[in-house]
Every structure is written in C-alpha cells, then in structure tokens.
Structure 1
Amino acid sequence: MKKHLFKNVIVVLTLFISAFNTINAAVVLPSFFTDNMVLQQKSAVPFWGESDGKSVTITTSWDKKNYTEKVVNGKWKVVLKTPIYGGPYSITINDGSIKTLNNILIGEVWLCSGQSNMEMPLDGWGKIDHYKEEIANANYPQIRLLQAEHIESTLPLHTLKVQHDGWNVCSPETVADFSATAYFFARKIYKEKKIPIGLIHSSWGGTLIEAWTSSGALTTIHDFDAEIQAMKSELDQEALLKKYNADMADWEMKLRGSDKGFETGKIIWATPNFDDSSWKTMSLPAYFENKGLPNFDGVVWFRKKVNIAANNTDFTLSYLADDDDMIWVNGNYIGETKGYNVERHYTIPAKFLKKGENIITIRVFDGAGNGGVYGDENFSLKSSKETVLLNGDWKYTIGADLKDLPAKPYLAQGQNRPSAIYNAMIAPLTDYKIKGVIWYQGESNAERAYQYQKLFPLLINDWRTQFKDKNLPFFFVQLANYRQQKQEPGDSDWAELREAQFKTLKVYNTGMAVTTDIGNGEDIHPKNKQDVGARLANIALAKVYNTKIDYSGPLYKACVIKANVVTLDFDFNENIKARDDRLKGFSIAGSDQKFYWAEAKIVNGKVEVYSQEVPNPVAVRYNWADNPIGNLTNGSGLPASSFRTDDWKGITQEKK
C-alpha cells in the first residue's frame, strides 16, 4: 500500500513539473503582435518573440505553413511569407504551450509620425471639423489602428509601449482618440483600393525632429554632439547643465538690461504714478501676435486701472501667460511664474490695495510662438466680497525685442533630447515590415528652419536605413498658414521651414502635401484634417498604388529675368491658374533686397511677375509669410508651394 501511494505521488509530481514547465514556456510577443493586426502584403515579414522553451513552431493560416526555429538565449525569430492582401487570418505559436493570434489582415502598413498636428485626434483636445459625424461614420473593419504611448529613452529600446492592448479594429468606439490625419489618409486609400490598411501611429506634440532621429545619424552632422554625449555620461550631462545655467543667467541679465521697463535695475513701469498715456491699447485675454504684434518674441508690459470697493480683504487673481510673467499691484511685487502652460494663481494682500483706483502691471516674456495673457475670457480679481472683471482694454508697450538680443540658450530635455524619442517610439518598430511613412512635423523647428534643410533629409535616410528599405516611401505635410497676416512682404521663419520641406522633395520617393490654404491664422492646430489626410493619400495613390490622380499644385522650377519682368516656370503646370480673381502672394526685389508686392499674370503656362517699384528685378518670392495669401494653383485645385528665387541669408541661417 505504501509503495502504491509512493508511485501515485511520483506521478502527481511529474505531472505538476511538466505543467509548470509548460507555463514557463509560454511565448511572449512584442506589443505590436496582437489580435487584429495588419501584416504587410507580398513581403518577407519578420516575426519574433521570447520563450523559455527549446523551440517554437509558427503556423500561418493563409498558407498552412509551419516555421520552426530554435530558441536561443530566450529569443526566437522567423520570417513569414505573406500573400496578396486578404484575411482575416490567424497565426499560431507553439513552444510547448499554444498561443493564437486571430483576426489578422494582410494589407498595407503605414507608419504615421510627427508632432501635434499628426497626433491631433478626432475628438478629445482635437475636435476636428464635424468630429461627431466623422466618429459616428468610422465603420471600417478593414482599417486597423495601433497607438504608441509617449515614451522617451536615452538608449534604443526593444519594446514599444502601446495603448489599448495593441491593434484595434477601426470603429466609432476606437477611432475617437486616434490621429485624425492618419485616419483620413487610410480611409481615402481604402475607399480607392479596397486594401486593408494598418496604421501605426507614433507621434508626440511639441517635439523636435532631432528627437526622432537616431544618434548614429545625428553624429554625422555634429550639431548635437554635446547633447548626445551628455546622454551617455552623467559627468558630461552635469557639465552641459552647468554651462547652460551659466549661459542662461548671462542671457537673462542681458534681457533685463535691454528691458526698457527697468532703469538701472529698478522697475519704473510698475510704479503707480508712471505715465502710460503714450502706450497702445490691447484687449485681454489674448495672444499678442493676434492683437497687433505679429511674430513678436520678447517682453511686453501691460497696465490696467481697476476700482475696488473695499481694501480690507485679500484678493486672488488667476490666468495663463506665455511664457513667463511677473506681476505688481500699485508698484508692489506680487510674484512671478515660469512656463507657458502653467496656470497662475496669485494672492494680492489687502495691505497692497486701496479703496478706489488701483494699478495692476503684468510683464510677459515670450521666447517663441504665441505670447500674452490668455485663458478664461472673464478673468478677474476676486475676494470673498467682490469680483472685479479684468477682461477688456489694457495699456501695453514693448519692453524688449529678442531680435536685439543674442539667441537664447537652449537645453534639450526629456523627450526633446536628440534621439530620445527615436530610441523609444521608432527603434522598437524597425523590424516590423511597413509600406511607407507619413509625417507631419516642423512647427517646433521653425526657429532653426535653415538647419532643417539637412535635418529632414537626414531623418528620412536614417529611417530608410533602420527599416532596411532604401526606397521607403516618405510623404509629408508642409506647414499650414498660421499667425497674423502681414500687410507688407517680410521675413518669416515659417516660410523658411516650408522652404526646407520643399527642398526635401529632391530626396527620392518623397511627396509633399501643401496646406497653406486650409490652415487657421489663430490656431496652430487647424481642424480641417480631412483634406490633410486626403492630400497625403493622393500622393500615395499616385506614387505607390499607380492610380491616375492629381496630387500636387505647381512647384517652382526655374526663372528667367528680362528687363523688368521675371518669368517663372513650374512643374505640375497643367492648366496653371489663379484660384480666384487675379494672382496674389508674389513679391519682387532688386539688388537692395527690399521686397514689394508685385503684379503677376499667367502667360503660356508660366507666371510673369513685375512691379513699377522695381525696374531692375533680381528676385521673386511667393507666399513668403507665416500666413500667406497666395492663390496659385493648377487643374488639380491644389495650392502651389511657397518658394523664393533668391538665396539671400534668411533669419534662421545662423541658428542651431
């Protein structure tokens, strides 16, 4: 009896150990190999994972083929042969235990990346045009969505962090927080070709192009050597930070010294008896770029007289400012806050107030982009007994203009460190077979637009190297129109960034969607993403899917100068015309480099430009502005890209 019992125990233990080993052998897959995924059609597709078993066998339902591979150091990898598009299919992985991925489609996989205009979702903070109807109608089970999380890393990672447990079927329930541009891109291609589309969305608002580029590629241009080295060494990182702090302290001293609101270190524009009668008037809350200071970066001072009924209690004041602010009441310093996205909460002690008239002074520093006092239209001074509205007219004047100062020191931090986002949000994907890339980025690099001329082609060629596809299609969005329109021709960093994007078309198998006709001067995130996605899709349909379709407006090619007329020639010039009325957006200059608005007319498929102000022209520019007004198009109805015929030094050429 004891011997029989002993044998039973041995059998139970053996079964337990066997079961334990089977559990241990359970395969682990990367986050992007899940149910509902799309694999690239007609390709050799890498497929990999981890296991504690000795070998794995992969079975694909589309061809019933088995792939067996040994597990080496806990890892395995096979290459699957995919057929022409179709599905749904399944993949079974057996390493002692069985795992099956279901509802897989074979189709076209596109990587969608960039900053906030690519990230902008249909709903949420985006709320694109007609978002409720678009979401309700997003029933496209043949379109699949994979959303990457925002992650940055000092070193390349092997694992991509994703949302929603991996791939999702496109539906009203899954599309709302997905990239609107990417969705409309896929929808257009699917409607035209009926091919399943997989979208891998990996973007991050407010990010720089160098953060999306591998350190190996960046080291070839040497613009970011110190930052890259600091990511490898704590000592170098400390040295870089120390130098930045010293440079920043020196720069802030220069800013303070140039600020007319201070005199020999003393504040003069916040004193109650200061005469601000010569100051202009601006309605707040607002961005001052939209209220008479287009493209201004620097210091603006605001003053407002307010009346309070009693001064026996403290008041509070809350608002948003971009970037940094300081505040005084009746000449008394109240506080300061740094950061464009930080809500200000100030307490004004009763001892600083008086019954009747009081003077509030706010000094705002803006380093780039929008600046001003913004937020709730009804921002106000509040106490337990009284509310005093502050919205409306304020007196204002410029304290300092950054154009008169050396460039502000910059320290790349967090996700904007060179290669930091590439390491975490692109590197883990480079073995995933994709068809191509769509890209919408550049706003954050506009201050260094000239440098973008080498950074953008560098990124494209870097990704092609990393994805092991030297011909990888790469289609991108040129920056939309933004900021206040100028009355006269002038410099523009956004125009210089668009020029860098236009020049990148020289890189093989690229395409550019021009969007200067569908932006919003007061919103850096225009809500018409339907046309953006469709224009990208048209490029892909023409260049990748051999569809006969218009995909580009006129692109400048060459010019000839005779007497006082400059004749411009274009690619994509079939039925070249003005969208409405007469041609607009052209300016012309002589050797003095002073530009004047020009007359322009179409003659034999070319554009002739001239002006009585410039008898001996040397250069022509078109749509050379942040928010241009040009209307040149062709038979497609698509806008012409901005351009210039000169190579004169721009305002960003010295910035790195």
Structure 2
Amino acid sequence: MKKLTAAFLLAFFIMGSARADVKLARIFSSNMVLQHGLNNPVWGWADKGEKITVLFAGKTITTKAGKDGKWQVKLPAMEYGGPYTLLVEGKNQLKLDNILIGEVWVCSGQSNMEWVVANSNNSAREMAAANYPNLRMFTVPQKVAQHPVEDVDGGEWEVCSPETVGHFSAVGYFFARNLQKELDVPIGMIHTSWGGTVAETWISPQNIEKDPDFAAALSELKQLDLSKYRQQRVEKMAALFGGELPSKDTGLQDGKAVFAAADLADQNWTSLPVPQLWEAAGYPDVDGVAWYRTKINLTKAQAEQAAELHLGKVDDTDMTWVNDRLAGQTNRYDLDRIYLLEPGTLKEGENVLAVRVVDTGGGGGIYGEPAELFLKVGAEKIELAGNWKFKMTEVAVGSMELGPNSYPTLLYNGMLEPLIPYGIKGAIWYQGESNADRAVQYRRVFQTLIKDWRQQWGLGDFPFFWVQLANFMQPAVQPVESSWAELREAQTMALELPNTGQALAIDIGEANDIHPRNKQDVGKRLALNALKVAYGKEVVHSGPVYESMEVNGNQVIIHFKETGSGLLAKDKYGYLKAFAIAGADKKFYWAKGEIRDSKSVVVYSDEVEKPVAVRFGWADNPDDLNLYNREGLPAIPFRTDTWEGITK
C-alpha cells in the first residue's frame, strides 16, 4: 500500500510538473505601449484546451488554447492613457504593470537604424536630458531562422530615462521624441534591426519566393539541414581551392611580402574584375585574407614623375606594395586609399602592384567605382580598373556559419514574424547601403518589402517611412555614375506607394564614415513625414521634388513640387550647386543654377549647347548640394534621363 501511494504521488508530481504554464509572447511585458484606437491582439501559449482569462482596464475576455497550445484575444480599442495593468489567468497567473495606450512604431533596417544614442552627436547631453517616462522601446534580439519562429528569444519594454536611453536606437529615439513633443501622447518603439543586412532578408518567405532573383535561394534554404550546414559550406568552399580551405596566409612570411615580388609566378591565380567585392565574384560569405596583383607599364618619363596611387576603398584592411616597396596600409573599410609613392618607387617598363586584403566580416575586397582606381603620374591618370590576379590565401572558418545575408528571409523569420500581429501605427526604415550595388533590383525589392509587411500585419496600408541614403565617400571631381545615387532613386520611386514618406540625409552625412552621427535631424525629418501622412498635421514634410523640365535654348528650366513657402539657395551669392547637364552624347558637365521663382530653377553650362538631361545631387557624396525649401528641407536628388546606369 505504501509502495502504491508513493507511486501515485510520484505520477501526480510528474503530471503536475509537465503542465505548461500559461505564457505570453515576449513582446508583451510591463512598461509596454499598446496602439491607440486598435483592437490590440494579445497572444501566448498554454495547455491544449486550457481556459485563458485576460483582464485589462475593467474588461474581461476569455478564450481557450487551441490544439497547438496557442491562444489569442483582442483587447477593446481604447483612448490614450494609462498606466494600466494586464492580468492573464490560466493554471497560473501573469501580471504586467505600467502599460500605456499610445502610438506604436516599428523601427528597422541595418546599422544606421541599429546605431545607438550613446554613439550619436552630443550623446552626453542627449542622455542626461532623456527623461521621457511615456516613451518606451523594445529591442528585439538578433536571430537568424531557417523557418518563421513563434517567439523572440528575449527583450523587454524599457522606459526612456538617462540610464536606459544610451542603448536605444538613435533614429528610433529621436523620431519618437519629436512625435511625443508634437502629439503629447505615449510613444512606443519596437526596434528590430541588424547592421550590414540586405533588404531581402527582411521579407517573408511567401513573398520573396515570388521574386525570380531569390526563388532558387529560398528553395535551397528550405531544404537545408542546418546541423550539416557548416560542414557543407566548408566542403563547397574547399572545392574552389582544390579540395582544401586555405588556413594560413603564405603571402606574408616573417614580415616579408612574398606575394609582392616582381618575379612571382601568378599565371595560375584567378583573374578577377576590380573593383568588386569578392562575394560577387564567386566567393559568397567568405571572410579571410586575399592577395591582388596587377602590372603597370610606364615610360621613363612617367616613372620619374611624382606619383599618387588611388585604390578606391578596401574592405576591411589593406597593405599595399609597389615594386616590393610598402606604399601604405589602412585599417578602415570606408576610406579611400590614396598613397603617395616615394621617388624611386616606380621604374621604366613593368611595375608590379600587390595588395593584401584582410576581411573580418561582411563584404571583402577592393570595391567602389572604376574611376576611383588609377595611378596619377604628374597630371596624367593611368586607369587601374580591370582584371587583376587574385588568390585567397586564408579563409576564416567562422564565416562558414549561417549569417543574416546567407539567404533571403532569415531575419524576417527570426526577428519580424514573432512580432506579428502586435498592434502598430506604422514603420520607419533605414537601410539600403548593403543593396547599393544592386540598385535597379532594389526598385522592386524595396516595394515588395513594404507591401509584404502590410500584408503580414493585416492593418491595411499602414504608414511606412524611410531614410534616403546619406552622402558618403569622397566627392567626385567631375560628374560620374553612382550606385548610391541609383539606390536613392530606387528609394524615391517607392513614394508611388500610398501612405509613404522619405526623410533625406543627403546633407548630413560624413565622407569618411558610413555612420553619420547626426541622428537628431534624421529622426526629426522622419517625424515630419509621420505628422503629415499618419496624423494629418499641416506641416511641410518634404524637400523640393522634381516635377518636370523644359528646354529653352541652352538652358533647362526645372519645375519642383513640395516647395513649401518657396525655394532657397544656401549660398550667400544665391548660386545653386550639385547640378549637372548633358547633351545627346550623354556626357555630363557641372551646371550653373539659379532660382527662377518659388517653384523652379534654371540650369545651364557653357559646355552644352543643346541640353537634353539634367541631374541633381547625382553622386555618392554631393557634398555641395544647397537647394532647399524655406522650411530647411533639402531637395531630393534626381535625374531627368532614363539612361542605363551601372547597377543594371
């Protein structure tokens, strides 16, 4: 009898401990903000068929967990206010406190959205003044996922204070702060971003599989055995190197650059187009060490002149030799390499240029525009773009792991799907740098992303605003093609979708840093879009937008809309800059510009007798752009032509 009783008690204990306590999705925590005027969904998990009671603001709602254990209720729509308490009762009870009813926004993208307040302009002063108890933020833990997951791995709603704001998304915070000051209501931000990521990783499987550029990759992702992924990646990449991954760089031995030698036999090295990240040349998601070599033939007169070597940018670190002499080295992925060559470095006849590149993550190699690679001897430029010899000498095995850009939809699955259908007002987005080399494709991909998010949330065409890429890299001496300009154009094209808006950063970027510290103006300009589009306020939310052109002799008159109270040239003489003009030969020259009236400007160049096309701010970094409306918002870069660019 004693044995039977003991066995019964043991079984009872096991059954009781196996019982699943009622759980809430992690997006629900104390201090959260729920969307005003919406029947907010609240969901979680419990035992199959378990009765769940939710009590909130004097209302009681009951439901039962489904066969899969998931349950969901919808709270009644409410006006702004709080704080409230949420109780969830099943076989156990959960209690969440300090809940507000306000405006909820998702903020997402890559590193410029991930960038925190502590690393932004005037951070000490900003953090000390950040006493906004009705502003809250939830930061989603970073996670890649092969398939959509049910819940995020952590996170909680945090009340904005001097102690917490330092690790808030800076763009998200400054956007929310501006909204709160104008609307005087609680603001909640759901921050889900990951630096260096491409747009397609943030799109759902059901919609990215419809894109012919990504369908095959998605199909491959679905069939992956992740337990074998790393080994399969190693084997696949090893095949590129004759069966074994190179594990130790042999090009640099005891400080001597063996692979910079003039007599090195490099005939069997791979031929690789430069400039181009090596990921685009058959080495996807590979980090490590690689060597580049090319040869330059010079006359005696050329070799005797002062010389500068221009290599564009190198991701991440380079050491560069010319004729076995170290010309320079740089440990920054976003800086132009410009090395002064000492007298005697160059010689008549064949000269050998060797570059050792170390990539620690993301893209790798010599990249940028072809026009940025040249050897300057005296006043002459010798172009260096073209096929170089290339050899990967060391592969970081860590780069064989599944990363956020390894396949499309990975971050949607791990960092967005678990948030849906949390009640929101809209979304803000700062991304595009990682898609710049595929700008024409981005025209389609970005609009797919917006439509996809709206479809998944089921809230109709909710407001969606983004930041156009900031000015970055060295300003061009002459008008040139630009992948960043084409990406900005693709972003502007998305304005054709309803309830969208664009905040410019074209005048607040930094030539030598892809992460401009001025996130305050970015947040402010995003908030102007929200005030106008989402909340119907009478504010000027956009800079001047190109509308039409007319040719009058050798002049072109450009007409704008969204001019606010009128156009403004930020120049004491009233001259406009950043315009370029071309004739039928498609060769662009810098143009002179003047404001004609409150909605138009006239541009011309003595070099172009019969103009057919105008471009404005068409560069990686149009650092002299100075056309604004009188409300202080810069004109949106544009071109009037539809000529094929460089990212087709």
TM-score range, shorter chain: 0.7 to 0.9
Q: In the alignment, which of 115, 123, 135 is matched to residue 120 of structure 1?
A: 115
Task: Tell me whether 1:602 sits opposite 2:599 in the alignment.
Answer: no
Instruction: Determine the C-alpha separation between the residues in 1 that align with 2:48 and 2:29.
Output: 20
Mapped to 1, the partners of 2:561 and 2:475 lie a distance apart of: 28
For each residue in 1:489-537, what CA deviation from the matched residue of structure 2 results, as whole angstroms up to 9, or x when unmatched? 1111111111111111111110000111111111110000000001101
8 Å Cα contact 1:559/1:567 also seen in 2: yes
Q: C-alpha separation between the residues in 2 aligned to 1:197 and 1:191?
A: 10
* Aligned residue identity for 1:539: N
Q: How does 1:195-594 map to 2 (within 5 A)?
A: 195-234=185-224, 253-255=270-272, 280-281=307-308, 293=312, 301-303=320-322, 320=331, 322=333, 338-340=358-360, 365-367=365-367, 401-402=384-385, 414-416=403-405, 417-574=407-564, 575-580=566-571, 581-594=574-587
Structure 1 residue 157 corresponds to structure 2 residue 146: no
Aligned partner of 1:619 among 598, 601, 613:
613
1:228 positional shift: 1.2
The AA in structure 2 aligned to 1:599 is K
Structure 2, unmatched stretches of 5+, are 243-266, 277-291, 297-301, 338-344, 346-350, 373-377, 393-398
Once superposed, what is the RMSD of the aligned Cα atoms?
4.5
Query: 137, 156, 179: which is aligned to 1:145?
Result: 137
1:638: which partner in 2? Answer: 633
Q: 1:53-90: CA deviations, max 9, x gaps?
A: 74333333323333333453322111111301111111
Structure 1 gap segments, 5+ residues each: 260-264, 270-274, 283-287, 308-316, 343-363, 373-394
Local SS of the residue matching 2:165: coil
1:145–1:201 CA contact under 8 A, matched in 2: yes
SS at 1:482's partner residue?
coil
| Residue number in structure 1 paired with 2:170 | 180
Pair 1:243–1:369, CA change in 2 (3 A): farther
DSSP 3-state at the match of 1:44: coil
How far apart are residue 543 of structure 1 and its match? Answer: 1.1
Aligned partner of 1:85 in structure 2 is 80
User: 1:222-261 CA deviation, whole Å, 9 max, x = no partner?
Assistant: 01122112212249989999888778999961139999xx
What displacement does 1:407 show?
Answer: 14
Structure (1 or 2) with the larger CA radius of gyration: 1
Q: Which amino acid aligns with 1:595?
A: F
Residue 547 of structure 1: how far off its partner (Å):
1.8
Note closer, same or farther for the CA distance 1:418–1:251 as it changes in structure 2 (3 Å cut).
farther
Instruction: Choose which of 70, 76, 85 in structure 2 pairs with 1:75.
Output: 70
Partner letter of residue 366 of structure 2?
A: D
Tell whether the 8 Å contact from 1:552 to 1:636 is kept in structure 2 after alignment: no
| Distance (whole Å) between structure 1 residues aligned to residue 441 and residue 206 of structure 2 | 18
1:176 alignment partner, SS class = helix
Give the direction of change, closer, same or farther, for the CA distance of 1:640–1:321 in structure 2 (3 Å limit): closer
Count, aligned residues: 567
- Indicate the SS of the match to 1:87: strand
In 1, are the aligned partners of 2:467 and 2:504 still within 8 Å (CA)? yes
Deviates more, 1:225-234 or 1:620-629: 225-234
Counterpart CA distance in 1 for 2:318 and 2:437 is 18
Deviation at 1:562, TM superposition (A): 2.6
Separation (CA, whole Å) in 1 of partners of 2:303 and 2:205: 52
* AA aligned opposite 2:23: V
* 1:56 and 1:93 in contact (8 A); partners too: no
Q: Could you tell me how far apart the structure 1 residues matched to 2:612 and 2:369 are?
A: 32
Tell me the distance in 2 between the aligned counterparts of 1:97 and 1:634. 59
Give CA deviations for 1:88-114 in whole Å, capped at 9, x if unaligned.
Answer: 111111112211111111111100000
Q: Distance in 2 between matches of 1:319 and 1:300?
A: 7
CA–CA separation in structure 1 for the residues paired with 2:139 and 2:179:
20
Instruction: Evaluate the alpha carbon distance shift between residue 479 and residue 256 of structure 1 in structure 2; reply closer, same or farther with a 3 A threshold.
Output: closer
Q: Is the 8 A contact 1:301 1:398 kept in 2?
A: no
Tell me what 2:263 maps to: none
Deviation at 1:431, TM superposition (A): 1.3
Q: Distance in 2 between matches of 1:478 and 1:55?
A: 49
Q: Is the Cα contact below 8 Å between 2:576 and 2:627 reproduced in 1? A: yes
TM-score normalised by the chain length of structure 2: 0.77
Change (3 A) 1:298 1:69: closer
Displacement of 1:623 after TM fit?
Answer: 0.6
Identity of aligned residues (%): 39
Show the counterpart of 1:392.
none
CA contact (8 A) 1:297 1:368 kept: no
